[in-house]
Amino acid sequence: MAKYYYDKYEVKTENKYYMKQIDGREVSEGNWFSWGGPDDGYLSDVLHGYKEYSFDEGTGRFSGVGTLYGGSKSPLADGTKLEDLILYSIPSRHSNRVLYVYDDYRDYGNGHGIVYKKYYQSELTTVYKKGSYISRVTGTANQYPMDGKHSDGYWYVRKGLVNSTPTISGQDSNLGDKNLGFLITYQINDTDISDTLVVTEKLNGDVLRTINGAPRNQDIEIEITDETIFSLPLNSDNTIEIKVDDQNGGIAYGRYTFRRTNTAPIIDGQDENLGQKIEPFSVDFSASDNEGNAITVKTYLDRIEKEEYQVIDGATNTFTIPKVDWFKLPIGQHSIKIEATDEHRATAVRNYTFTRFDDKIQFTLRNPIETDIMATKILVTPAWIIPEGASTKVEACNNAYDEMPAWEDITSQVLISRHYNFTNNVKIADKLGIDIRITIEKGTATEECAINGFGGAFE
């Protein structure tokens, strides 16, 4: 049932007179009115009266206004006959509390015949009026008068319908720094089920969206897109406003503020485990910046900086692990980090991991050992760890500078720590020298294979 607001007042009383109309009657024959003085006649004065009258509600008395006509049947100066006028007569014998209205004339002969059809008399009554304001109350349509005194002794004036203000979930808050798009989720409600709710969402006073007939108690989302964020001035303070209007005067607001801050550069792709690697490799990447700032890239291998340079926004760049670094990496897991920083020091990082894996180790001397004459003997004593299941091979040559050196297998002599006698006596190059090649294959071994160095001699 609809409820209304009522303004409640005190009641004040006032005694006053009012004009009470009495049914008029014709004067019967024998009670004719004659032309004469003001107090002649039994039922009324003789024909005399005023064209206008006034009434005092305080005293209950009538008063004539203007000229008193009568006392003679003679026409007025302008020729108007009195019997053609409506005259108001106020007999003094009724203490001026009676008003006769002469509005008809009948000629009964002998100059008599004036009659009246109605008259008024003053009557005292008590009047109730609206007093001082007390408060505002609510009630149903007929619980109190529209504008009047109630039986409880107070005066009421009905106003408009009672309307509940809509509600918005949550509370006004500062969302802090924002450099990418985000969502705000909220719900609305109104206890007046007949109200149609209209939601208006604004960003910095500009309307983002209007929802007519918005649903109650359901999630509503405001999406602030990346594009919108990037369009806002850097370091600007911004306000999101939610307005809910029930179309009946009830309005609720919800507000969120945030600061548009600088966006870090974006490195394409995602953090990734690159798996097992058995040889040096490269990683391609690109970096971009939403504000168009200059971007500086640093690359790291196992947290050691390897490169620093400025890149072109969106262009493809390549980080390659150099061979010299690769062979220094122990078997196991390692990391590559790419760090992109803009001119405002906002930084993005991309991390890769990989596992260096080798089932075979093979190496030679970096440079052959030059000899004056062709070597005939060689002794090699490696310091290595060779677990069960792994295999080794040690080779040497005495013509290392030839395009195709004559490698000889000296493994059996190395394993018993004895020297090996070269069988080759041919050389093509201008120089002579020796070289050593060691190969370790993991095979079925489950433990780590390693070589930490070697010693030896030759003649």
Count of alpha carbons within 13 angstroms of residue 166, beta-carbon side: 30
Q: For the chain, how are helix, strand and coil distributed in percent, rounded to 5?
A: 5, 55, 40
pLDDT reported for residue 32 = 34
pLDDT by 10s per residue, the chain, length 459: 567 889 999 999 988 888 888 865 544 333 333 333 333 333 343 557 788 999 998 898 989 898 887 666 666 667 777 667 777 778 777 778 888 787 766 665 555 555 666 778 889 888 899 999 999 999 988 899 999 999 999 999 998 878 888 999 999 999 999 988 999 999 999 988 888 999 999 999 999 999 999 999 999 999 999 899 989 998 899 999 999 999 888 899 999 999 999 888 999 999 999 999 989 999 999 999 988 889 999 999 999 999 999 999 999 999 999 988 998 898 899 999 999 999 888 899 999 999 998 888 888 998 999 999 999 999 999 999 999 999 999 999 999 999 999 999 999 999 999 999 999 999 999 999 999 999 999 888 888 888 888 898 999
Q: What angle do CA 276, 280, 281 make, to 5 degrees?
A: 80
pLDDT reported for residue 120 = 83
pLDDT reported for residue 430 = 94
Helix (H) or strand (E) holding 325: helix 323-326
Domain boundaries, the chain: 25-116, 167-260, 266-356, 360-458
Query: How many residues does the structure list for the chain?
Result: 459
pTM > 0.75: yes or no: no
CATH topology of domain 266-356: Immunoglobulin-like (2.60.40)
pLDDT reported for residue 174 = 97
pLDDT reported for residue 73 = 60
Give the integer Cα–Cα distance in Å for 68 and 65. 8
pLDDT reported for residue 41 = 35
pLDDT reported for residue 31 = 35
Give the list of residues 6+ apart from residue 312 with CB closer than 8 angstroms, or none: none
DSSP string, 199-238: EEEEETTEEEEEEETPPSSS-EEEEE-HHHHHHSPTT-EE
Give the integer Cα–Cα distance in Å for 363 and 5. 98
CATH node for 167-260 = 2.60.40.10
Contact 102, 84 (CB under 8 A): no
- The CA distances from residue 230 to 180, 196, 236, 265, 360, in Å, are 8, 35, 11, 13, 53
DSSP character at residue 75: P
Q: Do 167-260 and 266-356 have matching folds?
A: yes
